Protein backbone atom coordinates (compact mmCIF):
# COMPACT_ATOMS: atom_id res chain seq x y z
CA UNK A 1 0.00 0.00 0.00
CA UNK A 2 2.86 2.37 0.81
CA UNK A 3 4.36 1.70 -2.60
CA UNK A 4 1.07 2.41 -4.31
CA UNK A 5 0.63 5.69 -2.40
CA UNK A 6 4.19 6.70 -3.20
CA UNK A 7 3.68 5.91 -6.88
CA UNK A 8 0.49 7.94 -6.88
CA UNK A 9 2.30 10.81 -5.22
CA UNK A 10 5.13 10.57 -7.72
CA UNK A 11 2.63 10.55 -10.59
CA UNK A 12 0.85 13.61 -9.19
CA UNK A 13 4.17 15.40 -8.77
CA UNK A 14 5.17 14.51 -12.32
CA UNK A 15 1.80 15.67 -13.58
CA UNK A 16 2.15 18.96 -11.71
CA UNK A 17 5.65 19.54 -13.12
CA UNK A 18 4.49 18.58 -16.63
CA UNK A 19 1.60 20.98 -16.42
CA UNK A 20 3.95 23.74 -15.25
CA UNK A 21 6.29 23.08 -18.14
CA UNK A 22 3.36 22.97 -20.52
CA UNK A 23 1.87 26.22 -19.24
CA UNK A 24 4.99 28.37 -18.96
CA UNK A 25 4.04 29.93 -22.28
CA UNK A 26 0.83 31.37 -20.83
CA UNK A 27 0.77 35.17 -20.76
CA UNK A 28 1.47 36.55 -17.30
CA UNK A 29 -0.49 39.66 -16.40
CA UNK A 30 -3.11 38.77 -13.82
CA UNK A 31 -0.54 38.67 -11.02
CA UNK A 32 1.38 41.74 -12.07
CA UNK A 33 1.50 45.01 -10.15
CA UNK A 34 2.66 48.42 -11.34
CA UNK A 35 5.63 50.62 -10.69
CA UNK A 36 5.32 54.31 -11.54
CA UNK A 37 7.84 56.70 -13.05
CA UNK A 38 7.15 60.43 -13.19
CA UNK A 39 7.35 62.04 -16.62
CA UNK A 40 8.28 65.72 -16.64
CA UNK A 41 11.09 67.42 -18.60
CA UNK A 42 13.81 69.10 -16.47
CA UNK A 43 12.94 72.60 -15.27
CA UNK A 44 9.36 72.38 -16.53
CA UNK A 45 6.54 73.55 -14.25
CA UNK A 46 4.15 70.80 -15.29
CA UNK A 47 3.57 68.04 -17.83
CA UNK A 48 1.19 65.31 -18.98
CA UNK A 49 1.92 62.14 -20.99
CA UNK A 50 -0.54 61.40 -23.80
CA UNK A 51 0.76 58.46 -25.85
CA UNK A 52 3.32 55.65 -25.84
CA UNK A 53 4.46 53.44 -28.72
CA UNK A 54 5.72 49.86 -28.72
CA UNK A 55 9.33 51.00 -28.22
CA UNK A 56 8.32 52.86 -25.07
CA UNK A 57 8.72 56.35 -26.57
CA UNK A 58 6.32 58.80 -24.92
CA UNK A 59 4.88 62.10 -26.10
CA UNK A 60 2.88 64.75 -24.32
CA UNK A 61 2.86 68.39 -23.39
CA UNK A 62 3.45 70.76 -20.53
CA UNK A 63 4.60 74.11 -19.32
CA UNK A 64 8.18 75.25 -19.63
CA UNK A 65 9.70 77.33 -16.84
CA UNK A 66 8.76 80.48 -18.78
CA UNK A 67 5.10 79.32 -18.99
CA UNK A 68 5.26 78.36 -22.69
CA UNK A 69 3.14 75.31 -23.45
CA UNK A 70 5.32 72.86 -25.39
CA UNK A 71 5.24 69.31 -26.58
CA UNK A 72 7.87 66.75 -25.63
CA UNK A 73 9.24 63.39 -26.69
CA UNK A 74 10.68 61.11 -24.00
CA UNK A 75 12.78 58.22 -25.30
CA UNK A 76 15.77 56.33 -23.97
CA UNK A 77 15.82 58.42 -20.81
CA UNK A 78 16.12 61.69 -22.77
CA UNK A 79 13.64 64.51 -23.37
CA UNK A 80 13.29 66.40 -26.65
CA UNK A 81 11.17 69.54 -26.90
CA UNK A 82 8.59 69.32 -29.66
CA UNK A 83 7.73 72.79 -30.90
CA UNK A 84 7.68 73.88 -34.57
CA UNK A 85 10.09 76.72 -35.44
CA UNK A 86 8.24 80.05 -35.62
CA UNK A 87 8.48 83.56 -34.27
CA UNK A 88 6.53 84.38 -31.11
CA UNK A 89 5.43 80.78 -30.70
CA UNK A 90 2.86 80.59 -27.91
CA UNK A 91 1.67 77.00 -27.59
CA UNK A 92 2.31 73.48 -28.90
CA UNK A 93 1.35 69.97 -27.89
CA UNK A 94 2.55 66.53 -29.02
CA UNK A 95 -0.53 64.30 -29.00
CA UNK A 96 0.33 60.97 -30.61
CA UNK A 97 3.23 58.83 -31.84
CA UNK A 98 3.41 55.75 -34.06
CA UNK A 99 5.86 52.86 -33.78
CA UNK A 100 8.17 54.48 -36.34
CA UNK A 101 8.54 57.48 -34.02
CA UNK A 102 6.51 59.93 -36.12
CA UNK A 103 4.79 62.46 -33.86
CA UNK A 104 1.64 64.50 -34.51
CA UNK A 105 0.14 67.41 -32.62
CA UNK A 106 -0.79 71.07 -32.96
CA UNK A 107 0.79 74.50 -32.54
CA UNK A 108 -0.10 78.19 -32.67
CA UNK A 109 2.30 81.12 -32.87
CA UNK A 110 -0.06 83.96 -32.07
CA UNK A 111 0.14 85.42 -35.57
CA UNK A 112 -1.42 82.73 -37.70
CA UNK A 113 -4.08 80.04 -37.37
CA UNK A 114 -3.92 76.99 -35.16
CA UNK A 115 -2.28 74.22 -37.21
CA UNK A 116 -1.49 70.58 -36.89
CA UNK A 117 2.03 69.26 -37.39
CA UNK A 118 3.94 66.11 -38.21
CA UNK A 119 7.37 65.71 -36.61
CA UNK A 120 9.46 62.99 -38.23
CA UNK A 121 13.18 62.57 -38.73
CA UNK A 122 13.84 65.89 -37.03
CA UNK A 123 11.63 67.79 -39.49
CA UNK A 124 8.25 69.50 -39.08
CA UNK A 125 5.44 69.46 -41.63
CA UNK A 126 2.36 71.66 -41.26
CA UNK A 127 -0.90 69.75 -41.31
CA UNK A 128 -3.96 71.79 -42.29
CA UNK A 129 -6.43 71.28 -45.15
CA UNK A 130 -6.39 74.03 -47.82
CA UNK A 131 -8.37 77.18 -46.86
CA UNK A 132 -9.21 75.84 -43.39
CA UNK A 133 -9.15 78.28 -40.49
CA UNK A 134 -7.65 75.84 -37.99
CA UNK A 135 -6.59 72.21 -37.59
CA UNK A 136 -5.23 69.74 -35.04
CA UNK A 137 -3.50 66.47 -35.93
CA UNK A 138 -4.69 63.87 -33.42
CA UNK A 139 -3.55 60.43 -34.58
CA UNK A 140 -1.20 58.71 -37.01
CA UNK A 141 -1.09 55.05 -38.03
CA UNK A 142 1.92 52.97 -39.04
CA UNK A 143 1.47 53.91 -42.70
CA UNK A 144 1.78 57.59 -41.82
CA UNK A 145 -1.89 58.40 -42.43
CA UNK A 146 -3.02 61.25 -40.18
CA UNK A 147 -6.46 62.21 -38.87
CA UNK A 148 -7.67 65.17 -36.86
CA UNK A 149 -10.14 68.00 -36.78
CA UNK A 150 -10.57 71.74 -37.22
CA UNK A 151 -12.71 74.43 -38.84
CA UNK A 152 -13.10 74.84 -42.58
CA UNK A 153 -13.42 78.05 -44.61
CA UNK A 154 -17.10 78.29 -43.62
CA UNK A 155 -16.31 77.96 -39.89
CA UNK A 156 -17.76 74.44 -39.78
CA UNK A 157 -16.00 71.97 -37.48
CA UNK A 158 -14.93 68.90 -39.44
CA UNK A 159 -12.62 65.96 -39.25
CA UNK A 160 -9.95 65.34 -41.85
CA UNK A 161 -7.78 62.58 -43.29
CA UNK A 162 -4.29 63.34 -44.59
CA UNK A 163 -2.62 60.73 -46.78
CA UNK A 164 -0.05 60.96 -49.56
CA UNK A 165 -0.18 64.74 -49.57
CA UNK A 166 -3.97 64.81 -50.01
CA UNK A 167 -6.73 65.85 -47.61
CA UNK A 168 -10.22 64.37 -47.28
CA UNK A 169 -13.03 65.90 -45.21
CA UNK A 170 -14.48 63.54 -42.59
CA UNK A 171 -18.06 64.43 -41.72
CA UNK A 172 -21.07 62.10 -41.44
CA UNK A 173 -23.96 63.12 -43.75
CA UNK A 174 -26.27 65.79 -42.29
CA UNK A 175 -24.18 66.18 -39.14
CA UNK A 176 -23.44 69.65 -37.83
CA UNK A 177 -19.92 69.04 -36.49
CA UNK A 178 -17.34 66.28 -36.36
CA UNK A 179 -13.79 65.36 -35.28
CA UNK A 180 -11.73 62.38 -36.51
CA UNK A 181 -10.05 61.05 -33.37
CA UNK A 182 -8.21 57.86 -34.33
CA UNK A 183 -7.30 55.57 -37.24
CA UNK A 184 -6.04 51.99 -37.34
CA UNK A 185 -3.75 50.33 -39.86
CA UNK A 186 -6.71 49.19 -41.96
CA UNK A 187 -7.68 52.82 -42.44
CA UNK A 188 -10.83 52.65 -40.34
CA UNK A 189 -11.48 55.99 -38.64
CA UNK A 190 -13.43 56.72 -35.47
CA UNK A 191 -14.50 60.04 -34.06
CA UNK A 192 -17.39 62.02 -32.71
CA UNK A 193 -19.61 64.99 -33.39
CA UNK A 194 -23.14 66.34 -33.35
CA UNK A 195 -25.87 65.00 -35.61
CA UNK A 196 -28.71 66.96 -37.23
CA UNK A 197 -30.58 66.95 -33.89
CA UNK A 198 -27.55 68.24 -32.00
CA UNK A 199 -27.01 64.88 -30.28
CA UNK A 200 -23.39 64.04 -29.44
CA UNK A 201 -22.51 60.70 -31.09
CA UNK A 202 -19.54 58.66 -32.13
CA UNK A 203 -18.94 57.40 -35.65
CA UNK A 204 -17.00 54.86 -37.68
CA UNK A 205 -15.82 55.72 -41.18
CA UNK A 206 -14.77 52.75 -43.27
CA UNK A 207 -14.93 51.97 -46.98
CA UNK A 208 -16.58 55.29 -47.71
CA UNK A 209 -19.45 54.66 -45.29
CA UNK A 210 -20.33 56.09 -41.89
CA UNK A 211 -21.83 54.18 -38.95
CA UNK A 212 -23.17 55.93 -35.86
CA UNK A 213 -21.74 54.78 -32.52
CA UNK A 214 -23.88 55.22 -29.40
CA UNK A 215 -24.91 52.56 -26.88
CA UNK A 216 -28.68 51.82 -26.75
CA UNK A 217 -30.68 54.38 -24.70
CA UNK A 218 -27.60 56.51 -24.01
CA UNK A 219 -27.96 60.27 -24.24
CA UNK A 220 -24.54 60.91 -25.77
CA UNK A 221 -21.34 59.18 -26.84
CA UNK A 222 -17.86 59.83 -28.21
CA UNK A 223 -15.76 57.21 -30.03
CA UNK A 224 -12.15 57.90 -29.03
CA UNK A 225 -9.94 54.99 -30.10
CA UNK A 226 -9.86 51.89 -32.29
CA UNK A 227 -7.43 48.95 -32.38
CA UNK A 228 -6.35 46.78 -35.29
CA UNK A 229 -9.18 44.31 -34.66
CA UNK A 230 -11.73 47.09 -35.04
CA UNK A 231 -12.68 47.21 -31.35
CA UNK A 232 -13.69 50.72 -30.29
CA UNK A 233 -13.75 52.51 -26.93
CA UNK A 234 -15.15 55.83 -25.82
CA UNK A 235 -17.45 57.46 -23.33
CA UNK A 236 -20.73 59.25 -22.86
CA UNK A 237 -23.80 59.51 -20.65
CA UNK A 238 -26.30 56.72 -20.15
CA UNK A 239 -30.08 56.99 -19.77
CA UNK A 240 -29.64 58.01 -16.12
CA UNK A 241 -27.16 60.75 -16.99
CA UNK A 242 -24.23 58.77 -15.56
CA UNK A 243 -20.92 59.24 -17.35
CA UNK A 244 -19.59 55.86 -18.45
CA UNK A 245 -17.12 54.34 -20.83
CA UNK A 246 -18.05 51.81 -23.50
CA UNK A 247 -16.47 49.02 -25.53
CA UNK A 248 -17.89 48.30 -28.98
CA UNK A 249 -17.03 45.17 -30.97
CA UNK A 250 -18.93 42.95 -33.38
CA UNK A 251 -22.04 45.09 -33.13
CA UNK A 252 -22.23 44.75 -29.33
CA UNK A 253 -21.70 47.31 -26.58
CA UNK A 254 -20.24 46.75 -23.11
CA UNK A 255 -20.38 49.42 -20.42
CA UNK A 256 -17.01 50.28 -18.88
CA UNK A 257 -17.05 51.62 -15.31
CA UNK A 258 -15.19 50.25 -12.27
CA UNK A 259 -17.43 48.92 -9.46
CA UNK A 260 -18.81 51.65 -7.16
CA UNK A 261 -17.27 54.45 -9.23
CA UNK A 262 -19.38 57.53 -9.87
CA UNK A 263 -18.19 58.12 -13.44
CA UNK A 264 -15.78 56.78 -16.05
CA UNK A 265 -14.53 57.23 -19.60
CA UNK A 266 -12.70 54.63 -21.71
CA UNK A 267 -9.94 56.48 -23.56
CA UNK A 268 -7.74 53.92 -25.28
CA UNK A 269 -7.39 50.24 -26.15
CA UNK A 270 -4.39 48.13 -27.21
CA UNK A 271 -4.26 45.21 -29.62
CA UNK A 272 -4.90 42.68 -26.83
CA UNK A 273 -8.09 44.47 -25.85
CA UNK A 274 -6.79 46.03 -22.63
CA UNK A 275 -8.63 49.30 -21.98
CA UNK A 276 -7.49 52.36 -20.05
CA UNK A 277 -9.35 55.46 -18.97
CA UNK A 278 -10.28 57.59 -16.01
CA UNK A 279 -13.11 58.69 -13.79
CA UNK A 280 -14.21 59.38 -10.23
CA UNK A 281 -14.26 56.65 -7.59
CA UNK A 282 -16.78 56.28 -4.75
CA UNK A 283 -15.01 59.06 -2.82
CA UNK A 284 -15.01 61.38 -5.85
CA UNK A 285 -11.24 60.98 -6.31
CA UNK A 286 -10.19 61.20 -9.96
CA UNK A 287 -8.27 58.05 -10.87
CA UNK A 288 -7.17 56.11 -13.89
CA UNK A 289 -8.13 52.52 -14.51
CA UNK A 290 -7.13 49.46 -16.51
CA UNK A 291 -9.81 47.03 -17.65
CA UNK A 292 -8.42 43.70 -18.81
CA UNK A 293 -9.64 40.13 -18.66
CA UNK A 294 -12.86 41.22 -16.98
CA UNK A 295 -10.97 42.85 -14.10
CA UNK A 296 -10.43 46.49 -13.14
CA UNK A 297 -7.19 47.87 -11.72
CA UNK A 298 -6.89 51.40 -10.34
CA UNK A 299 -4.08 53.41 -11.93
CA UNK A 300 -2.73 56.26 -9.81
CA UNK A 301 0.85 56.91 -8.63
CA UNK A 302 1.34 56.62 -4.84
CA UNK A 303 0.38 59.78 -2.88
CA UNK A 304 -0.87 61.59 -5.98
CA UNK A 305 -4.03 63.66 -5.60
CA UNK A 306 -5.58 62.56 -8.87
CA UNK A 307 -4.66 60.85 -12.14
CA UNK A 308 -5.97 59.72 -15.49
CA UNK A 309 -4.74 56.80 -17.64
CA UNK A 310 -4.67 57.89 -21.28
CA UNK A 311 -2.77 55.36 -23.40
CA UNK A 312 -1.49 51.78 -23.26
CA UNK A 313 0.89 49.89 -25.54
CA UNK A 314 0.98 46.19 -26.35
CA UNK A 315 3.50 45.52 -23.56
CA UNK A 316 0.97 46.83 -21.07
CA UNK A 317 2.82 50.04 -20.23
CA UNK A 318 0.35 52.80 -19.36
CA UNK A 319 0.86 56.56 -19.57
CA UNK A 320 -1.22 59.42 -18.29
CA UNK A 321 -1.12 62.47 -16.09
CA UNK A 322 -2.31 64.02 -12.86
CA UNK A 323 -1.23 65.99 -9.81
CA UNK A 324 1.33 64.79 -7.28
CA UNK A 325 1.21 65.34 -3.51
CA UNK A 326 2.48 68.90 -4.01
CA UNK A 327 -0.17 69.75 -6.64
CA UNK A 328 2.40 69.69 -9.44
CA UNK A 329 0.96 68.47 -12.74
CA UNK A 330 3.05 65.56 -14.03
CA UNK A 331 2.91 62.74 -16.49
CA UNK A 332 3.56 59.14 -15.49
CA UNK A 333 4.35 55.75 -16.94
CA UNK A 334 3.03 52.67 -15.15
CA UNK A 335 4.93 49.49 -15.96
CA UNK A 336 4.16 45.92 -15.01
CA UNK A 337 6.14 44.45 -12.15
CA UNK A 338 6.17 40.79 -11.30
CA UNK A 339 5.00 39.71 -7.85
CA UNK A 340 6.34 36.17 -8.29
CA UNK A 341 10.07 36.78 -7.97
CA UNK A 342 11.06 33.92 -5.63
CA UNK A 343 10.30 30.22 -5.38
CA UNK A 344 8.52 30.99 -2.10
CA UNK A 345 6.08 33.13 -4.09
CA UNK A 346 5.32 30.14 -6.33
CA UNK A 347 4.86 27.84 -3.33
CA UNK A 348 2.58 30.38 -1.67
CA UNK A 349 0.50 30.66 -4.81
CA UNK A 350 0.23 26.86 -5.02
CA UNK A 351 -0.87 26.76 -1.37
CA UNK A 352 -3.49 29.40 -2.15
CA UNK A 353 -4.70 27.18 -4.98
CA UNK A 354 -5.00 24.19 -2.62
CA UNK A 355 -6.95 26.36 -0.19
CA UNK A 356 -9.33 27.46 -2.93
CA UNK A 357 -8.02 31.06 -2.95
CA UNK A 358 -6.42 30.91 -6.42
CA UNK A 359 -6.89 29.07 -9.68
CA UNK A 360 -4.48 26.58 -11.21
CA UNK A 361 -3.90 29.12 -14.00
CA UNK A 362 -2.74 31.59 -11.33
CA UNK A 363 -0.15 29.03 -10.23
CA UNK A 364 1.03 28.55 -13.81
CA UNK A 365 1.34 32.27 -14.40
CA UNK A 366 3.19 32.74 -11.12
CA UNK A 367 5.62 29.97 -12.06
CA UNK A 368 6.24 31.60 -15.43
CA UNK A 369 6.97 34.96 -13.83
CA UNK A 370 9.41 33.35 -11.37
CA UNK A 371 11.11 31.49 -14.22
CA UNK A 372 11.41 34.67 -16.32
CA UNK A 373 12.94 36.53 -13.39
CA UNK A 374 15.53 33.77 -12.95
CA UNK A 375 16.38 33.97 -16.66
CA UNK A 376 16.98 37.71 -16.40
CA UNK A 377 19.31 37.42 -13.39
**What integer pLDDT is reported at residue 363 of this predicted model?**
84
Q: Please check whether residue 28 lies inside any domain of the structure.
A: no
CA–CA distance, 276 with 296 (Å, rounded to integer): 10
pLDDT tens figures, 202-247:
999 999 999 999 999 999 999 999 999 999 999 999 999 999 999 9
Do 269 and 350 reside in the same domain of the chain? no
Q: Please check whether residue 4 lies inside any domain of the structure.
A: no
**What integer pLDDT is reported at residue 345 of this predicted model?**
79
**What integer pLDDT is reported at residue 198 of this predicted model?**
98
Do 161 and 205 reside in the same domain of the chain? yes
Do 312 and 373 reside in the same domain of the chain? no
Indicate the pTM of the whole model.
0.83
**What integer pLDDT is reported at residue 66 of this predicted model?**
83
pLDDT tens figures, 73-115:
999 999 999 999 875 557 999 999 999 999 999 999 777 789 9
Do 272 and 371 reside in the same domain of the chain? no
Residue 204: Cβ within 10 Å count: 20
Do 346 and 252 reside in the same domain of the chain? no
Q: Please check whether residue 310 lies inside any domain of the structure.
A: yes
Do 64 and 197 reside in the same domain of the chain? yes
pLDDT tens figures, 336-362:
876 677 888 788 778 878 877 667 877
State the helix-helix crossing angle for 360-376 and 2-23, rounded to 10 degrees. 70
Q: Is 336 exposed, middle or buried (0-12, 13-18, 19+ CB in 10 A)?
A: middle
Q: Please check whether residue 20 lies inside any domain of the structure.
A: no
Do 57 and 103 reside in the same domain of the chain? yes
**What integer pLDDT is reported at residue 375 of this predicted model?**
63
The count of domains in the chain is: 2
Q: Please check whether residue 6 lies inside any domain of the structure.
A: no
Q: What percent of the chain has pLDDT over 90?
A: 75
Domain hosting 64: range is: 41-338
Q: Please check whether residue 250 lies inside any domain of the structure.
A: yes
Query: Does the pLDDT at position 31 exceed 60?
Result: no
Average pLDDT over residues 129-156: 98
Q: How confident is the model at residue 18 (pLDDT cuts 50, 70, 90)?
A: very low
Q: Please check whether residue 34 lies inside any domain of the structure.
A: no
Q: What percent of the chain has pLDDT over 70?
A: 89
Do 356 and 208 reside in the same domain of the chain? no
Q: How confident is the model at residue 3 (pLDDT cuts 50, 70, 90)?
A: very low
Instruction: Determine the Cα angle at 60 with ends 56 and 65, to 5°.
Output: 125
Could you tell me the CATH number of the domain that includes residue 126? 2.130.10.150
Average pLDDT over residues 129-145: 97
- Mean pLDDT over each residue of the chain, to the nearest integer: 89
Q: Please check whether residue 218 lies inside any domain of the structure.
A: yes
**What integer pLDDT is reported at residue 332 of this predicted model?**
98
pLDDT tens figures, 310-328:
999 998 999 999 999 999 9
Amino acid sequence: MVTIKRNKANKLTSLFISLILFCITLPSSALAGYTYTEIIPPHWRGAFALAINESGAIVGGGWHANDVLKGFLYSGGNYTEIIPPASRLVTAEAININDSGAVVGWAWNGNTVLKGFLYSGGNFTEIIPPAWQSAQALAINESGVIVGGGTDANDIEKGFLYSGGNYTDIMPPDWQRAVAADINESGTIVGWGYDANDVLKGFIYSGGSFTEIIPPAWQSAQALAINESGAIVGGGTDANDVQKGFFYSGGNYTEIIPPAWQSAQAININESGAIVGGGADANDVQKGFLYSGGNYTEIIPPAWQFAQAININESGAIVGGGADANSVMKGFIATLQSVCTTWSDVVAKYQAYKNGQATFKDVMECFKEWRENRTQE
